[in-house]
Each structure stands twice: as C-alpha cells, then as structure tokens.
Amino acid sequence: QSWLRKREKLWEVCKKKYEIICLVDGAFLQGPKAGKGGCIKDRDGNILFIFFGPSNALNSFEAEWDAAIFMIKSVLEHKQKWNKICLCTDSIKVIKKLKRIKRSQLWGELGLPDILGVALDNFEFIHLGRELNLEADGLAKAGMQKAQMVKGWL
C-alpha cells in the first residue's frame, strides 16, 4: 500500500509542474536479450505515446539508456513542443548521466544535433523507484519479445 501512496503523491506533484511525464525503462537478460519501453502521459494521466521493442544493449545500463534516448528523440521530433517535460526512470545511473550531459551541453553524447540538444533545457530528469515505474517496466519486458519497435502517438 505504501508504494501506491508514493505513486499517487509523485503523480500529484508532477502533474502540477510538468506538461508531460515520460516514463521509460530497459530490460536485460543474459543471452543477451534486451528490450526498451515507455510511455508519455499528460497532466490528467492520459497516455499520449507508447513504445516497446528490442534493444541492442549488452547490459542493463545500456538497455535503460537506450530507452531514455529513444524517448528524448521521440519527444523532440514530435510536432507538439512542450516547455515542461519530466523524464522518469528507475536507473539512477541514467539520471546522473542525463543531468551531466544537460549541464555540460554535450549533445553529441545523445546523438542530437546542437539545435535539438538545446531543447533539453525543457527536460527535468527524475529517478523513480522500480515499483513506481510499472508501466514502463512492463513495456520494456514486452519489448524483449519483439523483433522490431512498436510505437505510436495516441
């Protein structure tokens, strides 16, 4: 029950502060078999975008990173431009790396041209506990079973 209260409290804070909330996750099994997945929700909790599919990751960090980069590019390439964007993942290493890149403006590490990289100023990066990132976790695990990416704006 306590994780459910944490989730509701976090959602209340996020929906007041951000226009969209991006949830991402990566999944990895030895073999290697990896997947990525995530979704975007608006302030009312409506799903705007969903993706899941395979990842070429060789470890769990790479799968998490792959999911985060896929989400960032999807948001930046969309015709709608948002000013307050929250990207959440359960990987503290991914959050730290994204914050470092944003601070130092090393957009090349994201594979983004400078003109898109500057738009990262609209992003904030938040670490979520695994129990608070259930949608993205399920999508990433489903992604391991796919031969190609499934994605769509709703």
Q: How large a percentage of the chain has pLDDT more than 70?
A: 94
Q: What is the pLDDT of residues 49-88, one digit of tens each?
A: 999 999 999 999 999 999 999 999 999 888 888 999 999 9
Q: What are phi and psi of 39, to 5 degrees?
A: -150, 160
CB 136 within 8 A of CB 38: yes
CB 151 within 8 A of CB 49: yes
Q: How far apart are CA 154 and CA 141, in angstroms?
A: 21
The answer, as to whether pTM is greater than 0.85, is: yes
Q: What are phi and psi of 108, to 5 degrees?
A: -60, -30
Average pLDDT, the chain: 89
pLDDT > 60? residue 1: no
pLDDT > 80? residue 3: no
Q: What is the pLDDT of residue 115?
A: 62
Q: What is the pLDDT of residues 112-142, one digit of tens each?
A: 766 666 678 899 999 988 777 889 999 999 9
Q: What is the pLDDT of residue 27?
A: 96
CB 55 within 8 A of CB 66: yes
